[in-house]
Amino acid sequence: MATAQEKATPTSFASAAGKAAADGVLQSWTDPSQDPITNRSSTSVSMIRPVSSLSPDPNTKGITIMTRAQTCHPLEPLTAAEISVAVATVRAAGATPEVRDSMRFVEVVLVEPVKHVVALADAYFFPPFQPSLLPRTKGGPVIPTKLPPRRARLVVYNKRSNETSIWIVELAEVRATTRGGHHRGKVISSEVVPNVQPPMDAVEYAECEAVVKDFPPFREAMKKRGIDDMDLVMVDPWCAGYHSDSDAPSRRLAKPLIFCRTESDCPMENGYARPVEGIHVLVDMQNMVVIEFEDRKLIPLPPADPLRNYTSGETRGGVDRSDIKPLQIIQPEGPSFRVSGHFIEWQKWNFRIGFTPREGLVIYSVAYVDDGRGRRPVAHRLSFVEMVVPYGDPNDPHYRKNAFDAGEDGLGKNAHSLKKGCDCLGYIKYFDAHFTNFTGGVETIENCVCLHEEDHGILWKHQDWRTGLAEVRRSRRLSVSFVCTVANYEYGFFWHFYQDGKIEAEVKLTGILSLGALPPGETRKYGTTIAPGLYAPVHQHFFVARMDMAVDCRPGETFNQVVEVNVKIEEPGKDNVHNNAFYAEEELLRSELQAMRDCNPLSARHWIIRNTRTVNRSGQLTGFKLMPGSNCLPLAGSEAKFLRRAAFLKHNLWVTPYARDEMYPGGEFPNQNPRVGEGLATWVKQNRSLEETDVVLWYVFGVTHIPRLEDWPVMPVERIGFMLMPHGFFNSSPAVDVPPSASDLDLKDNVVAAKPIQNGLLAKL
């Protein structure tokens, strides 16, 4: 992912350059997968100790600056050149030409360094310099003269052998890929992962569609339904899931869904309005052949619905509204945020953004600058790591629709370019994203991530009825987002940062319903009839947010715990003679099994992530509160096949101690996996202690969708999410520091100007 030039005005920071004293004690780096502060072994990168022996540059106000400027922060996403080098390195390592030709590149991502390396980079190599990030050690921390080399992790599928392998490649100073293959990386490790299938790729989807449409029995089946033109046919290859041993990952399988448009000259026609049912197709995606085909039941295609289309202008369903006047959002002095690479500063927040093919947007190193206490960490890493969409119709083919849109397809790889004035309004800073395609080439999604400010109504207000005086603070938030399309649905993922210290995670669901066809005169118990011969099955959407927290913790500190809070009604008696008493009761979640929790709106249940060593002015431990929004649990029996792969859906909250290799709640490869001994539900069986550690929260939230008539032909945006709110983190509300709004609105084009307040009442206008 890379910043797009001429899309905003980033603030440039001073370069990290200076001269270190030569009389320090030379040390050496460790393996980047280890702790560079506490473990030391011999490699080629030297380190200097102690900090006090380094000569500060008088122009940096006492901050030590290293001898060599680093050009790339260790959390910067891989550049297009780095991806090319990583792919070329792995391909060159293939044993034979046949092996090299059969390599398919599913994913190339940055190997994220350990937290101490990130802290070191932020403290001494990249402005704004933050030396306080490093833990205090006897004699001072060890400071290297340069950071360790960047590494890439590649998931490679061998189309010839049907094997999946993981490669780690060390990248040197990569500036550009040359024709001669210079600047190649170094293979650190490679490992074949047995009995798994990696995510599907868009190239495979296109090939699968072509294979099915060219299959003679399929063409004959479509003729029975009155379709001769294969250009009208849409084949959506869905992953097979895991329903029986026949779905085992020994074969790479897809079970496509079929749809059909009505007019070949209308490319924007909504083809999902005409599902083709009764046809069973199974495709071997390794060899790209149809291995099973059956025309099981002839169900007529739904008639052409005049309301099916969604394009602007005059359509078959009516005309666009014409009474909307322009609405402009302008910032004549530019935005209030500052950008340097992928480092963001806004109000008192600062953080870094990244992007991966699987998760999409990643938020790193979230901190709040508190005037009295300096930079205060909140979280090390925030992202959406999985989503599951199970359907509630037991009929074929809908019972097997339970997509893992992150693990089977990739949220990031399905992201698309955003358009100013449509997807985002205001002063926008866009970021591009780079990915490898299936054959190893690099593709760029321009304007993939949107960063902008939004007005968000009133932050707080109070009016004194005695004096008639009022104080108002206008709310503003910083929004970071991306949007992806997975088949028929669109998902917008947002992280909002507020001026009063809140962080909101929000998902916006929209797009087009996945439909089923009905025989004439029939209805379906498990869905909503939305047009003649057409129904929308009931289904659910679940999202998993992984939050690697660090509330008031510097790197290396493990001082967080999680407390559950429930409101209890006081028992009738002498302490509750009026039967009106209730109170909040806290319970420390001491272990992983105890921390498997569900939402309970009846008790206003929420959870607090606390620092066990830091207190506020009242002597209370500082913390952040996870406040649930609307939520649900799976509406499926305990023996449902999809729950074998998605056991993490059985609870809304899971808490684990940080482990570097525990990233995905359903395991790394959920595609066609029976899910035995992998994933979140297995990890917590260790029942590790949570009383004081480096905690990771896995919050599962979802929505149950009972389609409405108004969800056709498009589904208006539905919003779900949750809030991280400061709880005893500040000594007083940060909202007080927000600049007040003008007391008298006397703008040039206002229809009505505000009048003075008299006798505590608004004067009549």
Residue 198 CA to residue 165 CA, distance in Å, equals 9
CATH of domain 78-112+147-191: 3.10.450
Name 415's Cβ contacts closer than 8 Å, sequence gap at least 6: 360, 433, 445, 448, 482, 483, 484
pLDDT in tens, 335-380: 999 999 999 999 999 999 999 999 999 999 999 999 878 899 999 9
What CATH homologous superfamily does 335-725 map to? Copper amine oxidase, catalytic domain (2.70.98.20)
Same CATH fold assignment for domains 78-112+147-191 and 200-292:
yes
Q: Which two tokens stand for residue 67?
A: 């001898």
583 classed as catalytic: no
Instruction: Calculate mean pLDDT across residues 373-402.
Output: 95
Q: Is 200-292 assigned to CATH 3.10.450.40? A: yes
For residue 750, name the pLDDT band (cuts at 50, 70, 90).
very low
| Measured distance CA(721)–CA(543) in Å, rounded | 9
Burial track 630-647 (b if 16+ CB lie within 10 A, e otherwise): ebbbbebeeeebbbbbbb
678-733 confidence digits (pLDDT tens)? 899 999 999 999 999 999 999 999 999 999 999 988 899 999 999 999 999 999 99
Categorize the per-residue pLDDT at 316 as very low, low, confident or very high, splitting at 50, 70 and 90: low
One-letter identity of residue 323: D
Inter-residue contact 393 to 516 (CB < 8 Å) = yes
The C-alpha angle with vertex 596 and arms to 591 and 601, in degrees rounded to 5, equals 130
Q: What is the pLDDT of residue 676?
A: 75
Nearest to 68 by CA among 177, 173, 184: 173
Q: Which of 122, 305, 405, 552 is catalytic?
A: 405
Higher pLDDT pick, 142 / 521: 521
On whether the CB atoms of residues 541 and 703 are closer than 8 A, the answer is yes
Which residues, including other chains, have CB under 8 Å from residue 682's CB and lie 6 or more apart?
Answer: none
pLDDT at 741: 64
Q: What is the pLDDT of residues 267-303, one digit of tens each?
A: 678 889 999 999 999 999 999 999 999 999 999 999 8
Q: Is 405 a catalytic residue?
A: yes
Instruction: Kindly state the average pLDDT of the residues 623-644.
Output: 95
Domain spans in the chain, listed from the N-terminal domain onward: 78-112+147-191, 200-292, 335-725
pLDDT value of position 411: 97
| Closest residue by Cα to residue 43 from 187, 153, 182, 149 | 149
Q: Are 419 and 409 a contacting pair, CB within 8 Å?
A: no
What phi, psi does 462 have (nearest 5°)?
Answer: -150, 140
Name the nearest CA neighbour of 56 among 20, 91, 7: 20
Residues 6+ apart with CB under 8 A from 664: 358, 385, 386, 406, 407, 670, 679
Q: Could you report the per-residue pLDDT of 193-215, keeping only the tens digit for each?
A: 999 999 999 999 999 999 999 99
Which of 242, 427, 489, 491 is an active site residue?
489
Q: Rounded CA gap, 532 and 534, in Å?
A: 5
- CA atoms of 591 and 594, how far apart (whole Å): 5
Average pLDDT, whole number, for the chain?
A: 86
